[in-house]
Structure 1
Amino acid sequence: MKKTLLMAIDLGTSFIKAGVYDTDSNCIAIEMEPVKDYRPSPGVFIQKGEELFGSVLECMKKTVNTLGDRSNQVEAIAFTGQMAGFMGVDKDWNDITTWSCSLDSRYMPYAERQMKELKDKFLCIGGTNFPQMAPKYEWFKNEFPEESKKIVKYLMISGYVIGKLGDIPVEEAVIDRSFTQWTGLADVQNDRWSDEICDAISLDKKFLPEIVNSNHICAHLNKEMANIIGLKAGIPLVSGAGDKPAGCLGAGIVNYGDTIFEASSYGEISCCVPEYRPDMLERRLDVIPSAIPGDFFATHYVAGSGITLDWFMNTFVRQEGQSTKEMFANMEREMANIKPGCDGVMAIGLLGGSSMPSDGVLRGMWMGYDWSHSKAHFYKALLESFTYDFTLCLQSIERLYPEYDISDVKIIGGGAKSPVWTQMCADVQNKQYSVLDREDVAMWGASILAGNAIGVFGDLKQTAIDHVKVMKEYKPDEAYGKKYHKYMELYKQYCVELHDFYKRLQELAETE
């Protein structure tokens, strides 16, 4: 068993990553390959399937070269990566639509109309506040009618890659359960496509792939691809899971009530639960089916939260010759003594709008500042705004799942390197925050699924728990938390009351 190696492929928006792990969770080799995209006009973001798949092959080849003779020990390959998008292929797995991820917004008029008509069904049945595949299907069918006639299956990117690498006909294409919620087309509670939603948008379910578990062997590496990559033919190709649920598995978030904050480009809080309960009161939660069959994650994300922090630093703070690490370290020191509420400065950090609850017109704002405030006040105000947003989400989780005592939150991602932000989260939420000892949780989570599929690993939950540890803990300061909560109530009100202001501003800008 010690000689068995497992490969994980992370299908990111900007980069493909391939990592190889041994059964003790050690990363033996890892390589990256950029993915080309095209942005010919505002709102258009195109990635051609053949080019994307070429990046996958090149990344896998580089990883195999790094492994050398040990490449013959790779016994299974599993997949993770981006979770929202749309792709249509023909009978020979050829890309018809291009891969249209969440950054490609050409479908938005269809999304807005569908949301008006099917808003409650999307949330109650589909598990999402804002679907991707449902409106993109209707968009492509109407805007590109001739091309749409060639489509045999609509897929997520992992299903496409498995089909190209594997030995199966397109009729046997799959999607693992963890990807189904942001399609908007599934009955997520029952792991099947929704008759009600599909009928409402006139989509024949024969065009949709089979829903499988995350540890399902979907196909085997075919001879042609094996020769190109340098691996042996016949290696099982395991469905794997989206980057969020794979990350939860790799981080050991596997028991009911376990909660994690991924402080990354798209910051997200997820809590492991046994069933889906829609948040009809505040609409702050989506559900993600877990990589553990039958389980779920109540989840909330802020679109581009980490991207917003990087934007601030690069736009207002970066100095020539200063490294990113130095820049963030300096800001950390400057923020350390700024008290809760940032001396009267408040921010709305939703530069890309609000996903949960859905409000596409909200944008960024700072208010309350005067000549006494520094860059550190503005930056810390952004951190406070994101913390308020995630805290409101946790309150919804605790309201819907009162039987679970969420007293400890694990934290991963770039934000876990910020003591100021991590302590702030602990204070505002009155919970212990625990920093984990590994950052590669999605890749390792996919590797666990690969190993489980071929019998190398037994129980998924226990395997995950056995390979992750807590490095550092942050205890909440209740007094600070009470101070923050006064500002959080204002934040919650402003996100509602300022909607009309943002809408008028947007309308005015569009007329210029």
Structure 2
Amino acid sequence: MKYVIGIDIGTSAVKSVLVSEEGQVVCEHAESYPLHRPNPGWSEQHPEDWAERTIVSLRKLMEKSQADPSDVEGISFSGQMHGLVLVDAEGKVLRPAILWNDTRTTPQCRQIEQKLGGKLLDIARNRALEGFTLPKILWVQEHEPEILSQASLFLLPKDYVRYRLTGDFAMDYSDAAGTLLLDVAEKAWSADIAGAFDLPLSLCPKLVESSDLTGTLLPEVAEAAGLLPATKVFAGGADNACGAIGAGILGEGKTMCSIGTSGVVLSYESRKDVNPQGKMHFFNHGEENAFYVMGVTLAAGHSLSWFKQTFAKESSFDELLKGIEDIPAGSGGLLFTPYISGERTPHPDADIRGSFIGMDSGHALKHFARAVLEGITFSLRESIGIIRGSGKEITEVTAIGGGAQNETWLQMQADILNADILKLESEQGPAMGAAMLAAYGCGWFPSLEACAKKFIRPAEVFSPNPEQVKQYDGLFAVYQDVYGQTKELNQRLAAYRK
């Protein structure tokens, strides 16, 4: 039996999965590491923690599975996007990594906008947001110039881990697209963007495809991990790109909806000339010469978790959602907007806040619970609407994450998005996408699409109910009005937030 391993470098833990030639997850293991917040709004991790826990995760994976190391042909990676790792010429980390959810870089974002104007969207295809990598580099340039002067390269999280395992420096296109330094369409580092901020292009690592071979395991790493030095290591991709691969989003019109802490709507795109003008993200896919558009709801699953923790702390999620199927669409005229952490798509607004509108004394806990699910799904529909507005037809959406766990919510997604919702038999998310990149890189399949046909199996389809679709269309129009009606109120309330 031959195997590949997919490794997902997440924000809270590294997850490793051992996958067979049949696409079966034979074994999995996760190892956590700490998150550091030395100042308000800061979010950092030590890159060496990722590397050390990855090696431990691999060793425990091999011990638990009892797989023969000689049967493991390849390894690849998925990683949290945007995090800044600066290394010197010897590969030594110069400071803790600044993560995707660090918000210290607002002044640097304004600086980027002022210097580049519309050129940023033309080249990088994305707005200057605090989460991206370039603003973090500029923050170091301003506040820690002695650190930047020592830097030989900047890397992203998975790329540092892969360097520690192989000794090879590289970055794939799907992750590089989240730095704001890549010419996304031309697949090259942008001299115009780097030059505008006096950054040498030599700071940028070599670019590779996600399925490219980037070396084999260093002997000491192989021994510590319980693997062979000859094990092939492939570049891997950004977590969202790998999530798309793991969900089979590998052809025109293929779209997925992922609901975790945040919510992501992602759609495959073959055209490199698409420019959503900052309304949505536009990134390189993990598949060669392909792209994807992506919208983000900042507080998707987080809205439901917050609601449960605040109003039904002692209940399980199943108990909280029990009976919502008996509440009619529209929750009895109760509407929720999931802006409890600000919003990203289509409103990049850090000040907007959530709301319940339409409350009356007849509403019970299950009305509120259903309204939360409806509000989250309305927010995701705004991203679907932008994609459809670009001329793309979306008739089927693959659901992954927490939003795929409740059948009432899956039917709700079908009715609100007016598309068939596909639930997968076994969902491993980005780690599976990383394993598929390794399987394709090893030559098991002629394409990632062929790999998906073998590895990914649909379990159930939820189709839209025409009557419910009509009901939700009317309610969605009301939902869309809430942002504009409450924006000024939330700006005025900002002064009272502690």
Q: Give the TM-score normalised by structure 2.
A: 0.94
1:294 aligns with 2:282: no
Tell me if structure 2 keeps the 8 A contact 1:119–1:129. no
Structure 1 residue identity aligned to 2:308 = M
**What residue in structure 1 maps to residue 18 of structure 2?**
20
**What residue in structure 2 maps to residue 338 of structure 1?**
327
1:220 aligns with 2:208: no
**What residue in structure 1 maps to residue 396 of structure 2?**
408
Partner deviation per Cα, 1:113-142 (whole Å, 9 max, x = no partner): 434554643333212234411110100111
RMSD: 1.9
Partner deviation per Cα, 1:46-66 (whole Å, 9 max, x = no partner): 211222222112111211222
Question: What percentage of aligned pairs have identical amino acids?
Answer: 25
Partner deviation per Cα, 1:147-206 (whole Å, 9 max, x = no partner): 2221111111111111111133xxxx2111111232111111121112222222222211
**What residue in structure 2 maps to residue 88 of structure 1?**
86
- Counterparts in 2 of 1:112 and 1:334: CA distance versus 1, 3 Å: farther
Partner deviation per Cα, 1:259-287 (whole Å, 9 max, x = no partner): 1111222211111111241223xx43212
Higher mean alpha-carbon deviation, 227-236 vs 135-144, is at 227-236
Tell me if structure 1 keeps the 8 A contact 2:87–2:94. yes
**What residue in structure 1 maps to residue 447 of structure 2?**
459
Tell me if structure 1 keeps the 8 A contact 2:24–2:455. no
Higher mean alpha-carbon deviation, 147-156 vs 333-342, is at 333-342
**What residue in structure 2 maps to residue 206 of structure 1?**
202
**What residue in structure 1 maps to residue 77 of structure 2?**
79
Higher mean alpha-carbon deviation, 254-263 vs 490-499, is at 490-499
**What residue in structure 2 maps to residue 149 of structure 1?**
149
Tell me if structure 2 keeps the 8 A contact 1:189–1:275. no
- Counterparts in 2 of 1:381 and 1:205: CA distance versus 1, 3 Å: same
Structure 2 residue identity aligned to 1:380 = R
**Which residue, 382, 386, 389 being the options, matches 1:399?**
389
**What residue in structure 2 maps to residue 499 of structure 1?**
487
The residue correspondences of 1:152-191 to structure 2 (distance < 5 A) are 152-168=152-168, 173-191=169-187
**What residue in structure 1 maps to residue 100 of structure 2?**
102
- Once the 2 structures are TM-superposed, how far is the Cα of residue 467 of structure 1 from its aligned partner? 2.3
- Once the 2 structures are TM-superposed, how far is the Cα of residue 39 of structure 1 from its aligned partner? 2.1
**What residue in structure 2 maps to residue 50 of structure 1?**
48
- Provide the rounded CA distance (Å) in 2 between the counterparts of 1:111 and 1:380: 37
Tell me if structure 2 keeps the 8 A contact 1:162–1:219. no
**Which residue, 308, 312, 322 being the options, matches 1:317?**
312
Tell me if structure 1 keeps the 8 A contact 2:23–2:456. no
1:35 aligns with 2:20: no
- Provide the rounded CA distance (Å) in 1 between the counterparts of 2:111 and 2:372: 32
Q: Secondary structure at the match of 1:122?
A: helix
Structure 1 residue identity aligned to 2:445 = F
Structure 2 residue identity aligned to 1:214 = S
Tell me if structure 2 keeps the 8 A contact 1:130–1:182. no
- Counterparts in 2 of 1:387 and 1:119: CA distance versus 1, 3 Å: farther
1:437 aligns with 2:425: yes
Tell me if structure 2 keeps the 8 A contact 1:123–1:286. no
- Counterparts in 2 of 1:196 and 1:385: CA distance versus 1, 3 Å: farther
- Provide the rounded CA distance (Å) in 1 between the counterparts of 2:335 and 2:224: 55
- Once the 2 structures are TM-superposed, how far is the Cα of residue 221 of structure 1 from its aligned partner? 0.8
- Provide the rounded CA distance (Å) in 1 between the counterparts of 2:409 and 2:298: 18
- Counterparts in 2 of 1:118 and 1:312: CA distance versus 1, 3 Å: farther
Tell me if structure 1 keeps the 8 A contact 2:128–2:135. no
- Once the 2 structures are TM-superposed, how far is the Cα of residue 81 of structure 1 from its aligned partner? 2.5
Q: Give the TM-score normalised by structure 1.
A: 0.92
Tell me if structure 2 keeps the 8 A contact 1:422–1:474. yes
Partner deviation per Cα, 1:426-450 (whole Å, 9 max, x = no partner): 1122211111112113222211211
- Provide the rounded CA distance (Å) in 2 between the counterparts of 1:464 and 1:69: 23
- Provide the rounded CA distance (Å) in 2 between the counterparts of 1:380 and 1:145: 51
Tell me if structure 2 keeps the 8 A contact 1:262–1:411. yes
**Which residue, 226, 233, 236 being the options, matches 1:237?**
233
**What residue in structure 2 maps to residue 62 of structure 1?**
60
1:285 aligns with 2:283: no
The residue correspondences of 1:298-377 to structure 2 (distance < 5 A) are 298-319=293-314, 327-357=316-346, 358-377=348-367
- Once the 2 structures are TM-superposed, how far is the Cα of residue 390 of structure 1 from its aligned partner? 1.6
Partner deviation per Cα, 1:200-255 (whole Å, 9 max, x = no partner): 22222110112211101112211121122221113221111122221221222211
- Provide the rounded CA distance (Å) in 2 between the counterparts of 1:8 and 1:494: 42
- Provide the rounded CA distance (Å) in 1 between the counterparts of 2:126 and 2:96: 24
- Once the 2 structures are TM-superposed, how far is the Cα of residue 391 of structure 1 from its aligned partner? 1.3
Higher mean alpha-carbon deviation, 443-452 vs 61-70, is at 61-70
- Provide the rounded CA distance (Å) in 1 between the counterparts of 2:497 and 2:216: 53
Q: Which runs of 5+ in 2 are unaligned?
A: none
Q: Secondary structure at the match of 1:37?
A: coil
Tell me if structure 1 keeps the 8 A contact 2:112–2:128. no
1:261 aligns with 2:251: no
Q: Which runs of 5+ in 1 are unaligned?
A: none
